[in-house]
Amino acid sequence: MSLRTENKPTSTVDVRGSTSHAREMNKFFFVKLVLMALVNAFGLFVLYSSWQVGHWGMLAAMVVLLVVVNWAYFSKRMLAAKFLVPGLVFLCVYQLFTMAYTGYVAFTNYGTGHIGTKEAAIEANLAQNEHRVEGTPAYPLAVVSSDDEQLGFAILDDGAVLVGTSDSPFQPAPEATVADGAITAVPGYEVLTFEEILQQQEEITTLRVGFGDAEQGSIRTQTGSTGFLYQPSLSYDEATGALTDTTTGVVYRDNGEGMFAADDGSTLRVGWRVPVGFDNFTRMFTDARLSGPFLQVLVWTFAFGFLSVATTFFLGLFFAIVFNHPRVRGRKVIRSLLILPYAFPGFLSGLVWAGLLNRRFGFINQVLLGGAEIPWLTDAWLARLSVIGVNLWLGFPYMFLITTGALQAISSDMYEAARLDGARVWRMFRSITLPLLMISVAPLLIASFAFNFNNFNLIYFVTEGGPNFPGSPIAVGATDILISMVYAVAIESGSTQYGLASAMSILIFLMVGLISWLGFRQTRKLEEVL
């Protein structure tokens, strides 16, 4: 009887515990279900968008991604994958895909005039090469906006109102309202006012609305109130794949390099993307206009990376040794002050230093140097010196921190033994401090070199790469490093050259990787010796 009485409460506790555990599991499952529903909804949206634009590679990748994610989080046997999948997804999207796509672009002519496909280039050339049809009337016109905010035109043609957009040709609008020869209202559209037209003037002047047949032409306007008929100056022959100028008779054919070219060498404005092999890589060294600036930038990049690491390391090490001595008073306060430059955002410090070094209005010239006009940022060598100096101010606190920690890890018994053997300060530094310091600091120095090798922010915000090289086909200058040259090639040189910029990016990756490998190899040798 007593045994039954003792067992009864135990059974009750177990039931309650299992019930509470089940409720907690249901809560977690509900949260997981909601999160996975959001992930799948986003995935389905990407799938639908990819299918609409015909991007089959993105569609296939998203299908695989959704299958893997759902399998990992709804399978009871994939416990480890639940923790690995998020990191692997971000690795694939932001690292592997970016690297693979950069490698692909590096072997193409992707850039201004070579953005899309050949079919898109044909359509663009037909649309951009137009002439106004002589003898056609000026059409009274109103700029309209559809319900989905797409711009279009409504014109008055022989008393009838026609309305259309860039995607849909002109259609009759019998219920439109006309007053004093002007279109005032169109059902399903909003007629834009003069102020609204001015706000979208660029879009309106480039807008074309056709009649449904390319040979009939399209309507364009410059004023927003009057339209004129334009017809293509080119005609496309699908059999030969050539474009012919209808006014001059010149024939433009595919030249195999992503352009339509005539027999005299002239080309149409819009081309398409095609593989070019290693042309972008060889162009950096063989193109006479490009190779000169490229080689100068390459040499300066290595010099900048080495000098940045050397100057910041030795200045940081000097301060670390000085303020690591126990006789120095107020060490904590001084150390806090020394790391202040490292606490400020790098881009903000670069902008401040650019103002301080201004030739005519900078604080350094006007106040510290009594009104001198030293061209810190406009002379090639002074600009390089200025960049090294600014980077020294920004970088030595980091080296000060890591060398301070490394010095404190060295046992004082080693210095005491060296003193007993008669070693002096320089001998102890050279034989004890520096070798032991390099074991722990060398990997950080390699990382610092890689960082400075690609220190785009400093160059851009202090000098913007200037002063520029005279006669260079791209906007690069004396203080540009490879990564800022990549930016100039891709963005700032008037015409985008993504293929060439990607090739340069791959070259930077290979250089940094090789230097890092050599550095770590030497570090391991140092560890073996010690």
pLDDT the model gives residue 57: 85
Mean pLDDT of the region 278-304: 93
pLDDT the model gives residue 1: 43
In this predicted structure, the answer to whether residue 7 has a pLDDT above a threshold of 90 is no
In this predicted structure, the answer to whether residue 107 has a pLDDT above a threshold of 70 is yes
pLDDT the model gives residue 170: 94
pLDDT the model gives residue 472: 83
pLDDT the model gives residue 528: 59
Query: Residue 276: exposed, middle, or buried by beta-carbon count in 10 A (0-12, 13-18, 19+)?
Result: buried
C-alpha–C-alpha distance, residues 142 and 163, integer Å: 9
Q: Which is higher by pLDDT, 244 or 166? A: 244
pLDDT the model gives residue 312: 96
Closest by CA position to 106, among listed 457, 460, 508: 508
pLDDT band at 16 (very low <50, low <70, confident <90, very high): low
Dihedral sign from CA coordinates of 102, 106, 112, 117: negative
pLDDT the model gives residue 380: 95
For residue 265, how many other CB atoms are within 10 A of its CB? 7
DSSP, collapsed to helix, strand or coil, labels residue 471 as coil
Report for 69-83, 307-321, 424-438: range of highest mean pLDDT: 307-321
Q: Report the DSSP pairing between strands 139-146 and 189-191.
A: antiparallel
Alpha-carbon separation of residue 437 from 69, 317, 321, 361, 510 (angstroms)? 46, 10, 12, 43, 28
Report for 33-47, 121-135, 296-310: range of highest mean pLDDT: 296-310
Alpha-carbon separation of residue 300 from 172, 295, 382 (angstroms)? 66, 9, 14
Say which residues have a Cβ less than 8 Å from residue 3's Cβ, sequence separation at least 6. Answer: none
- State the DSSP H helix or E strand holding residue 3, giving kind and residue range, or none if neither: helix 2-53
In this predicted structure, the answer to whether residue 442 has a pLDDT above a threshold of 60 is yes
In this predicted structure, the answer to whether residue 20 has a pLDDT above a threshold of 70 is no
pLDDT the model gives residue 165: 93
* 445-499 per-position pLDDT tens digit: 999 999 999 999 999 999 999 999 988 888 899 999 999 999 999 988 778 999 9
* 454-465 per-position pLDDT tens digit: 999 999 999 999
Say if domain 285-529 classifies as CATH 1.10.3720.10: yes
Q: How far is CA 101 from the centre of its chain?
A: 13
pLDDT the model gives residue 453: 94
pLDDT the model gives residue 24: 58
In this predicted structure, the answer to whether residue 8 has a pLDDT above a threshold of 60 is no
C-alpha–C-alpha distance, residues 173 and 160, integer Å: 8
Q: Do domains 130-232 and 285-529 have the same CATH topology?
A: no
pLDDT band at 440 (very low <50, low <70, confident <90, very high): confident
Q: Report the DSSP pairing between strands 189-191 and 260-261.
A: unpaired
pLDDT the model gives residue 423: 87
User: Left, alpha or beta for 329 (phi > 0: left; psi -120 to 50: alpha)?
Assistant: beta
| Range from 77-86, 158-167, 283-292 carrying the lowest mean pLDDT | 77-86
C-alpha–C-alpha distance, residues 235 and 282, integer Å: 37
The 3-state secondary structure of 122-141 reads HHHHHHHCEEECCCCCCEEE
* 197-224 per-position pLDDT tens digit: 999 998 999 899 988 776 678 999 988 9
Number of Cα atoms under 13 Å in the Cβ half of residue 121: 26
pLDDT the model gives residue 148: 84
**3.30.420, 2.40.430, 2.60.40, 2.30.30: CATH of 130-232:** 2.40.430
For residue 96, what is the DSSP state?
Answer: I
pLDDT the model gives residue 495: 83
Single-letter amino acid code for the residue at 349: S
In this predicted structure, the answer to whether residue 387 has a pLDDT above a threshold of 90 is yes
pLDDT the model gives residue 15: 52
Q: Which is higher by pLDDT, 10 or 350? A: 350
Mean pLDDT of the region 265-282: 94
Q: Where are the domains of the chain?
A: 2-106, 130-232, 285-529
In the predicted model, what is the mean pLDDT of the chain? 88
C-alpha–C-alpha distance, residues 517 and 95, integer Å: 20
Ranges of H-type helices in 75-114: 79-91, 97-106
pLDDT the model gives residue 328: 84
Single-letter amino acid code for the residue at 500: L
C-alpha–C-alpha distance, residues 453 and 505, integer Å: 12
In this predicted structure, the answer to whether residue 193 has a pLDDT above a threshold of 60 is yes
* 501-528 per-position pLDDT tens digit: 999 999 999 999 998 888 888 777 666 5
In this predicted structure, the answer to whether residue 32 has a pLDDT above a threshold of 60 is yes
